[in-house]
């Protein structure tokens, strides 16, 4: 062919093979004519075809010696190419020793040459496939029938304009040759309607991602949104979901970004996947715009979606730098004049800023009154503000004074669920006597002279939340704070009739008479944790930048005495900053509390939220400068990034002695308070702006649980996570376990593996532990057995935790069809359920048995064995998957196809990625798009 340097040939603009011509021209495989034409309908000689093959397959391996054809002299322009492709097996010439270089090549010869040179096995039984796809099979020469059948299976044949007419003896045109070579090189561009056998494509490749079908639905992605299609390729749930999981047990888990979108609209308008072509283009454009915008906001880094909250989320948090030091102080109305006037406030804020503090916690809820004008208190209790401050707004005054000197403000709801101090309930119970908490004798709950509201009463909870929301909606603050009374209730409480009936309804028995009964303690503490969860969500829904801060009593004392399960609060990520009140009057006692917290209670990532409370003044007691500095230095040594001091007036005593010590030493350099960094360590990003839902097969809402992460249902149970801990819910969305596991797996055969600390065990469907955590690693149960690891060896246990196969393997996989792959001395074999090695460990890798065969690896090639260990399909593949619906996906070179149980290629290696067949369809990737092929070969 003569040369042309421009692929925009004037005579191919409307030609059916133009894309193939461009593809080969760009690779310098073909060229045009000096006049700028390509002449796609001209015939191609055998010499020209040999030259094209030589350029298209330069790495073809020689399979025979050269042949000196009588009619191809050494000085023939194509002699070198003819010799090369002949040695590679593409050609063999004619029986009389000629090549006939100037003879136009028929289509049949071009196809036979490709099948021969690419070393495809010729179909020994070609007639069925030839008759299936061609109306002119009688015209195919006998010598070529096997090769044409193979070429059809490999999707090499291109028939234009009628896909059912091969026209084997017609001379191949330049356009047809370009299309044939493109198919052989697996290049895009050939119109699929002209490729025989392409009826295997059930749903056209249109999607950016696609999953296998389950329960007649498959999730697919267009742009950056997920939807669900049926087996006809019709959307039943439109592609507008940010996250989506496959259907399981009739429902699917989805997640939607809110952003002002009507989340109720998820059901499809029933348009076909084929009409998604327009959506694909629009989605790509939108995704590009979104990525560019997101890149600007994140310093140019474009981040993808996460379909679930995986372990790497925690790892990312562990790798974050801790926030700059947090230096806080509590401001009280007891033994303090700070709130007496705006002048005192301004003076105090200026003093704190100059001392090196960056955060203040002013009291706003104290002894049944607020330190700000409260509409809720006015309407509920008839008292708008603490009478001492009538006509003023101390909170607003203090916020302004703090802002003037760069201090952050977090209002402190000091009394929490306590209603009064030594006042028999005070004004709150005078107005709302039914809100009183009760002890076992039915008396008003009183502890250390504090009287208490019923923290379990929904009305009381709503009242306290209302006070908090009132503050966050009306004031410019950094967050809100509870303490050892919020959320809290003395453990002697909970015996009011409402709470008792709630307990009876759940357990069918009266609450224990012993208020310290372990189960009774935990049940009531969990109610307070539920309250804190609700409070957290309501606060961050209004303003996701606000910090949720709690200053609880030390654990476990606070749990036993005040039902404060701050271990669970930290585990579930319900606190952005925790200030345990480590109020000790000597350094050794303070150190002991810090050490217990760091060593035994919280993980390193959780410690990033801990800013201990240090007692500097109480009555006549004041900490020494030496002990204060030593405590702060010890905080830093143990990785704690700050402290909060109780309380302000202690800094002013003895001519500001403590403040001077701080200013000259540990607080010598000012550090600004950084709200964003505090929030980045928490889970607010999982709790605002999006919501999880379970939907049915038509997109209808089934249930909407509120957790940081959820999973699909298996055996009527789904694992969920809040913060750092996993639990399980039923299909009503109710927890069947506490959120107490460090890792959790889906249920299988009635059991789920869970991790507590560093050990694995198993729970049943009721959430009860049936095999205690004791193993270093485990698998799920399969065929009644689970593989477990003790130290560096694996064995198998049954469902009651009894050893069935003692530890002896280096690695062990799930049982399938009575056999499990196990590793010994670096090689894999298979054992039966008695532990006998029935297939010797001779393989480099091994997969599970499915439909009687298992993929195994020898060297760098994969094949298949049967249950006796016999190699029934020789190792020849670069990768292999288990059989499903009588076919197995295998990889040859860079492409995937499917074989049957005889090892025959029934679907040629044509695809960039594939998945197994399910419901008669398999997802396949061609280029950048996913579609589905149908299984035409499963006769079961």
Cα distances from 889 to residues 123, 436, 739, 915, 924, in angstroms, run 20, 68, 40, 7, 10
At 259 the pLDDT is 55
Mean pLDDT in residue range 256-264:
54
Burial 64-90, CB ≥16 within 10 A → b, else e: eeebebeebeeebebbebbbbbbbbbb
Residue 179 dihedral angles phi and psi, to the nearest 5° = -70, -40
Q: Which residues is 797 bridged to in the sheet?
A: 786, 803
Confidence of residue 940 (pLDDT cuts 50, 70, 90): low
DSSP state for residue 884 in the 8-state scheme: B
Nearest to 917 by CA among 892, 894, 899: 899
pLDDT at 281 over 70: no
Which residues, 6 or more positions from 676, have their beta carbon under 8 angstroms from its beta carbon? 545
Cα distances from 516 to residues 445, 451, 523, in angstroms, run 15, 20, 11
Longest dimension (CA), the chain: 120
Q: How many CA atoms lie less than 13 Å away from 151 in the CB half-sphere?
A: 30
pLDDT at 233 over 70: yes
Least confident of 184-193, 244-253, 460-469, 655-664: 184-193
- The model's pLDDT over 718-764, given as tens digits with 9 standing for 90+, comes to 999 999 999 999 999 999 999 999 999 999 999 999 999 999 999 99
Confidence of residue 352 (pLDDT cuts 50, 70, 90): very high
DSSP per residue, 263-301: TT--B----BGGGHHHHHHHHHHHHHHHHHHHHHHTTT-
Kindly tell me the burial class for residue 41, based on how many C-beta atoms sit within 10 Å of its own C-beta (0-12, 13-18, 19 or more).
exposed
Q: Give the mean pLDDT of the chain.
A: 91
Mean pLDDT in residue range 125-152:
94
Question: pTM for the whole thing?
Answer: 0.81
Q: What is the residue whose two structure tokens read 């928490």?
A: 682
Q: Can you give 474-505 as a three-state secondary structure string?
A: HCCCCEEEECCCCCCCCCCCCCCHHHHHHHHH
Would the CA dihedral through 664, 666, 667, 669 be positive or negative?
positive
Least confident of 140-144, 267-271, 559-563: 267-271
- Angle (CA) 805 807 811, round 5°: 105
Nearest to 335 by CA among 632, 659, 622: 622
Nearest to 485 by CA among 502, 514, 460: 460
Least confident of 121-125, 316-320, 334-338, 663-667: 316-320
At 478 the pLDDT is 98
- The model's pLDDT over 183-196, given as tens digits with 9 standing for 90+, comes to 999 888 899 899 99
pLDDT at 572 over 80: yes
- The model's pLDDT over 16-67, given as tens digits with 9 standing for 90+, comes to 999 999 999 999 999 999 999 999 999 999 999 999 999 999 999 999 998 9
* The two three-digit tokens of residue 934, written as one number: 């149908």
Mean pLDDT in residue range 314-327:
57
Strands (E), 599-716: 613-615, 617-618, 621-622, 642-646, 690-695, 701-703, 709-710
At 926 the pLDDT is 83
At 323 the pLDDT is 57
At 357 the pLDDT is 98
Residue 194 dihedral angles phi and psi, to the nearest 5° = -105, 5
At 909 the pLDDT is 84
The H or E element containing residue 205 is strand 201-207
CB atoms within 10 A of CB 97: 11
Confidence of residue 910 (pLDDT cuts 50, 70, 90): confident
């Amino acid at each position: 062919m003569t040369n042309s340097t421009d692929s925009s040939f004037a005579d191919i603009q409307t030609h059916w093979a133009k894309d193939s011509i461009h593809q080969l021209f760009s690779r310098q495989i073909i060229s045009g004519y000096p006049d700028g034409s390509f002449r796609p309908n001209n015939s191609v000689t055998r010499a020209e075809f040999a030259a094209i093959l030589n350029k298209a397959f330069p790495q073809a391996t020689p399979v025979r010696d050269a042949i000196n054809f009588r009619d191809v002299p050494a000085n023939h322009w194509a002699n070198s190419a003819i010799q090369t492709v002949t040695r590679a097996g593409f050609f063999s010439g004619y029986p009389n020793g000629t090549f006939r270089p100037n003879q136009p090549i028929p289509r049949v010869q071009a196809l036979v040459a490709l099948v021969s040179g690419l070393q495809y096995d010729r179909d020994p039984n070609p007639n069925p496939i030839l008759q299936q796809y061609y109306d002119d099979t009688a015209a195919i020469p006998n010598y070529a029938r096997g090769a044409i059948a193979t070429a059809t299976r490999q999707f090499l044949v291109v028939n234009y304009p009628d896909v059912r007419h091969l026209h084997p003896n017609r001379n191949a045109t330049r356009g047809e040759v370009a299309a044939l070579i493109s198919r052989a090189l697996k290049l895009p561009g050939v119109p699929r309607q002209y490729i025989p056998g392409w009826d295997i494509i059930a749903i056209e490749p249109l999607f950016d991602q696609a999953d296998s079908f389950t329960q007649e639905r498959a999730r697919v992605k267009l742009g950056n949104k997920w939807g669900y299609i049926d087996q006809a390729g019709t959307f039943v749930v439109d592609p507008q979901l940010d996250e989506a999981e496959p259907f399981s047990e009739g429902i699917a888990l989805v997640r939607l970004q809110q952003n002002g979108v009507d989340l109720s609209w998820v059901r499809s308008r029933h348009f076909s996947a084929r009409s998604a072509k327009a959506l694909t283009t629009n989605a790509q454009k939108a995704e590009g715009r979104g990525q560019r915008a997101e890149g600007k906001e994140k310093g140019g880094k474009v981040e993808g979606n996460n379909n679930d909250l995986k372990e790497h989320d925690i790892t990312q948090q562990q790798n974050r730098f801790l926030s700059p030091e947090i230096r806080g102080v509590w401001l009280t109305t007891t033994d303090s004049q700070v709130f007496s006037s705006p002048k005192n406030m301004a003076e105090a804020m200026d003093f704190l800023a100059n001392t090196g503090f960056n955060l203040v916690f002013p009291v706003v809820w104290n002894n049944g009154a607020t330190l700000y004008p409260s509409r809720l208190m006015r309407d509920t209790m008839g008292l708008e503000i603490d009478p001492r401050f009538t006509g003023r707004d101390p909170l607003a005054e203090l916020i302004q004074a703090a802002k003037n000197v760069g201090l952050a403000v977090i209002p402190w709801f000091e009394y929490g669920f306590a209603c009064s101090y030594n006042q028999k309930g005070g004004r709150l119970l005078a107005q709302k006597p039914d809100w009183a908490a009760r002890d076992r004798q039915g008396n008003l709950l009183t502890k250390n002279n504090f009287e208490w509201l019923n923290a379990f009463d929904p009305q009381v909870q709503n009242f306290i939340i209302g006070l908090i929301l009132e503050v966050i909606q009306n004031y410019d603050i950094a967050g809100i704070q509870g303490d050892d009374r919020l959320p809290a209730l003395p453990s002697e409480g909970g015996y009011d009739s409402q709470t008792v009936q709630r307990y009876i309804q759940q357990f069918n028995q009266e609450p224990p008479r012993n208020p310290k009964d372990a189960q009774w303690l935990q049940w009531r503490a969990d109610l307070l944790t539920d309250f804190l969860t609700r409070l957290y969500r309501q606060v961050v829904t209004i303003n996701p930048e606000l910090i949720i801060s709690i200053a609880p009593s030390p654990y476990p004392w606070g749990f036993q005495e005040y039902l404060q399960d701050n271990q669970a609060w930290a585990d579930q990520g319900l606190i952005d900053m925790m200030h345990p009140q480590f109020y000790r009057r000597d350094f050794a006692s303070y150190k002991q509390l810090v050490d217990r917290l760091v060593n035994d209670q919280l993980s390193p990532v959780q410690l990033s939220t801990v800013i201990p409370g240090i007692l500097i003044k109480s009555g006549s007691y004041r900490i020494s400068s030496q002990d204060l500095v030593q405590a702060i230095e010890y905080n830093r040594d143990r990785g704690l990034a700050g402290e909060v001091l109780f309380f302000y007036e202690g800094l002013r005593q003895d001519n500001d002695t403590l403040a001077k010590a701080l200013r000259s030493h540990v607080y010598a350099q000012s550090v600004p308070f950084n709200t964003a960094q505090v929030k980045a360590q928490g889970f607010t990003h999982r709790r605002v702006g999006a919501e999880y839902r379970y939907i049915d097969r038509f997109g209808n809402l089934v249930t909407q649980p509120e957790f940081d992460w959820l999973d699909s249902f298996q055996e009527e149970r789904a694992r969920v996570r809040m913060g750092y801990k996993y639990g399980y819910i039923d299909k009503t969305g109710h927890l069947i376990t506490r959120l107490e596991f460090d890792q959790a797996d889906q249920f299988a055969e009635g059991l789920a593996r869970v991790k507590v600390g560093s050990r694995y065990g198993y729970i049943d469907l009721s959430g009860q532990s049936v095999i205690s955590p004791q193993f270093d690693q485990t698998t799920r149960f399969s065929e009644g057995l689970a593989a477990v690891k003790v130290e560096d060896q694996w064995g198998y246990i049954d469902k009651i935790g009894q050893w069935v196969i003692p530890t002896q393997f280096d690695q062990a996989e799930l049982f399938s069809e009575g056999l499990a792959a196990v590793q010994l001395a670096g090689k894999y074999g298979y054992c039966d359920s008695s532990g006998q090695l029935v297939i010797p460990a001779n393989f480099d890798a091994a997969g599970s048995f499915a439909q009687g065969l298992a993929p195994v690896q020898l060297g760098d090639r994969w094949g298949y064995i049967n249950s006796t260990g016999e190699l029934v399909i020789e190792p020849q593949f670069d990768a292999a998957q288990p059989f499903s619906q009588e076919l197995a996906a295998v990889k040859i070179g860079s492409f995937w196809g499917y074989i049957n149980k005889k090892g025959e290629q029934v679907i040629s290696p044509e695809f960039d990625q594939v998945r197994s067949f399910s419901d008669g369809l398999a997802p396949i990737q061609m280029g950048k798009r996913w579609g589905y092929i149908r299984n035409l070969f499963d006769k079961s």
